[in-house]
């Protein structure tokens, strides 16, 4: 494959991958809307509400299938370099940095928005409905996904070429530093939360999800900052 | 306790060989960013990587990395 053909294939693969991600986002949106409709509806036995869980499940499954397909296109992209001027490893690392900024921050904002309002209800014992606990548990999604984003996926360790760029000596060292920062932030937050709880348990309850979320996203953000610094030619 | 610092001379050796960071990274099978951080003294490479770089550039490790003792370091302001 000559350079021109390689670029054309690469651009086509990137377009398909972006299109797949847009569809996945749309599927997630449909699933969220269906779950919200089901949880907030008074009558769950008629109309769209009755089939909402099934529609949500179907949307999630379709989204997951498209997501797996989009990941498999990454291998094709590895063979096709769309921009020979920028080294392939640099592009991969830049994409990772983008993910580490965007994913934890958006998950953090969504988690905080979804959780903080229900903590008062949990504290006063008003959270008797399953819906409340679903909303209260949203922050756990952030607490799990944000560190996993930094840890990297099996996809990043799949081939020696990907390992070389995404799990190289520098990445491992920066990841170690980032975990250390995350641990420090989490411990600092936990100590502060404990101190607040001694004086104002209600405030501590409301702040608990925020502390968890900040501790969860801190390592990823710190890694992204270190990665950005490593790019600078000093 | 004496202060020690590693002064990399990787950039000089690479430029002398007419290699770009990306080309040296390709030969050493690391990322370009790793080469950049080693050259800037931001990242201290492992012994393995130092030996790989030494082999690729055809120079002993001591020629690529120089250990500065406190006697070599510039005096601190006010010190």
Q: What is the pLDDT of residue A171?
A: 86
Stretch B46-58: mean pLDDT: 91
Q: What is the pLDDT of residue A147?
A: 82
pLDDT per residue over A202-214, tens digit each?
Answer: 888 888 888 888 8
A84–chain B nearest CA distance, Å: 12
A141–chain B nearest CA distance, Å: 32
Q: Do B30 and A234 touch (CB under 8 A)?
A: no
Q: Do A87 and B32 touch (CB under 8 A)?
A: yes
Query: Hey, how many other C-beta atoms are within 10 angstroms of the C-beta on A25?
Result: 11
Contacts A–B by Cβ distance under 8 A: 47
pLDDT per residue over A71-87, tens digit each?
Answer: 666 544 444 444 445 67
Residue B71 near residue B3 (C-beta atoms within 8 A): no
Residues A23, A46: Cα–Cα separation, whole Å: 28
Q: What is the pLDDT of residue B79?
A: 41
Q: What is the pLDDT along chain A (234 residues), one digit of tens a residue?
A: 444 555 566 566 666 777 777 777 777 777 777 777 777 777 767 677 777 777 778 878 887 777 777 666 654 444 444 444 567 777 878 888 887 778 777 777 777 777 777 777 777 777 777 777 777 787 888 788 878 877 776 666 667 777 777 778 888 899 999 999 999 999 999 999 999 999 988 888 888 888 888 888 899 889 888 888 887 765
Q: What is the pLDDT of residue A153?
A: 62
Q: What is the pLDDT of residue A75?
A: 47
Question: What angle, rounded to 10 degrees, do the helices at A3-40 and A47-79 form?
Answer: 160
| CA-to-CA dists, residue A209 to A56, A121, A142, A183, angstroms | 26, 14, 10, 16
- Could you give all domains of chain B from N- to C-terminal order, each with its CATH number? 5-61 (1.10.260.40)
Domain locations in chain A as residue ranges: 1-85, 86-234
Residues of B with CB under 8 A from a CB of A: 22, 25, 29-34, 36-37, 40, 42-43, 45-46, 49
The ipTM is: 0.77
């Amino acid at each position: 494959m000559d350079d021109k053909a390689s670029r054309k294939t690469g651009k086509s693969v990137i377009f398909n991958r972006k299109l797949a991600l847009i569809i996945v986002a749309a599927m997630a949106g449909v699933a969220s809307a269906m779950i919200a409709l089901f949880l907030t509806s008074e009558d769950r036995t008629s109309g769209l509400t009755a089939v909402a869980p099934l529609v949500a499940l179907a949307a999630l499954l379709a989204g997951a299938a498209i997501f797996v397909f989009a990941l498999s296109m990454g291998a094709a992209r590895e063979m096709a370099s769309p921009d020979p001027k920028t080294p392939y490893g640099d592009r991969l690392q830049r994409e990772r940095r983008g993910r580490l900024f965007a994913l934890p921050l958006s998950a953090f904002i969504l988690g905080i928005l979804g959780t903080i309002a229900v903590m008062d209800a949990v504290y006063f014992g008003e959270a008797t409905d399953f819906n409340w606990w679903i909303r209260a548990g949203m922050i756990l999604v952030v607490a799990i996904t944000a560190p996993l984003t930094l840890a990297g996926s099996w996809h990043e360790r799949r081939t020696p070429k990907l390992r070389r760029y995404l799990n190289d000596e520098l990445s491992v060292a920066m990841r170690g530093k980032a975990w250390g920062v995350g641990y420090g932030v989490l411990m600092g937050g936990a100590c502060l939360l404990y101190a607040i709880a001694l004086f104002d348990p209600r405030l501590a309850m409301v702040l608990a999800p925020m502390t968890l979320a900040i501790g969860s996203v801190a390592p990823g953000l710190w890694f992204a900052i270190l990665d950005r610094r490593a790019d600078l030619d000093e | 306790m004496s202060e020690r610092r590693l002064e990399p001379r990787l950039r000089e050796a690479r430029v002398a060989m007419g290699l770009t960071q990306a080309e040296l990274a390709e030969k050493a099978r690391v990322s370009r960013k790793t080469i950049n951080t080693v050259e800037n003294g931001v990242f201290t490479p492992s012994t393995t990587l130092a030996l790989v770089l030494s082999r690729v550039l055809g120079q002993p490790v001591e020629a690529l990395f120089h250990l500065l003792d406190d006697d070599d370091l510039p005096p601190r302001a006010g010190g």
